[in-house]
Amino acid sequence: MADNVVYDVKGLIKDLNALEPGLKKAMVKEAKAIAKPVASNIKQAIPSTAPLSGMLPQNNPSGRLAWGAGKPADQVSIRFRTGRSRNTAITPLVAIWVTSAMTAIADVAGKGSMRKAKKVTSEYAYKGGRRRHAVTSQGKTMIANLKSRYANNFVYPAVEDSLDDAESKIKLVIDKYARMVNRKLD
């Protein structure tokens, strides 16, 4: 999917506010509304219970990585961000975030290169010093188990077909408001 990029959104928002207070809010609301069905699809795709027993909250009473710990496992938010980045000029304007850490881990499990892991990690900072630790086979086992239960890579496949459509619609919304500004300026 080629990136669909819009330009000068900040300028547009500034002009919208100048044109009529509340127009920006309306534009964001419309854009988010288009993304809502997509987000809803993602929500449905997220397993309602922990895919592996090790992820159950009762097995991780104090950890933050239990299924649904801290925030619901199926929490999905739509974000409209106009902020800039110091690293790249192209950044997401509208994006859907799956915010639960364990859900994200389960989703991305097995998406890597799956190359043979090092036996010991590289050195890293730890409690004011530096250390390294042995790499266990826990992760590999988790991935294998998730794959065997088809409990990984569930977010993107759920929305893959609707992404282009949603993107075009959001772009139309942006264009609509941009036209409003242009008309006013003309």
**Taking a C-beta distance cutoff of 8 angstroms, is the pair 137, 144 a contact?**
no
**Taking a C-beta distance cutoff of 8 angstroms, is the pair 173, 8 a contact?**
no
**Site string (69-108) toward another protein, x via CB under 8 A:** -------------x-xxxxxxxxxxxxxxxx-x-xxx-xx
Residue of the chain from 27, 42, 66, 181 that contacts another protein (CB under 8 A): 42
Determine, following the binding rule CB under 8 A, whether residue 7 of this chain makes contact with another protein.
yes
User: 4 or 59, CB closer to another protein?
Assistant: 4
Show Cβ contacts of residue 19 under 8 Å, excluding neighbours closer than 6 positions: 180, 181, 184
Taking the C-alpha atoms of residue 181 and residue 27, their distance in angstroms, rounded to an integer, is: 12
Closest approach of another protein to the CB of residue 66, in Å: 14
Query: How many binding residues for another protein (CB under 8 A)?
Result: 45
User: 23 or 93, CB closer to another protein?
Assistant: 93
User: 59 or 168, CB closer to another protein?
Assistant: 168
**Site string (12-41) toward another protein, x via CB under 8 A:** -------------------x--xx--x---
User: 23 or 109, CB closer to another protein?
Assistant: 109
Which residues from 114-153 bind another protein, rule CB under 8 A? none
User: 8 or 120, CB closer to another protein?
Assistant: 8
Show Cβ contacts of residue 176 under 8 Å, excluding neighbours closer than 6 positions: none
Dihedral sign for Cα atoms in the order 154, 155, 159, 164 = negative
- CA Rg value for the chain: 21
- Side chain identity at residue 155, one-letter code: V
Task: Give backbone dihedrals phi and psi of 48, rounded to 5 degrees, phi first.
Answer: -75, -25
Dihedral sign for Cα atoms in the order 107, 148, 138, 113 = negative
Q: Which residues bind another protein (CB under 8 A)?
A: 3-10, 31, 34-35, 38, 42, 82, 84-99, 101, 103-105, 107-108, 155-156, 159, 163, 166-167, 170-171, 174
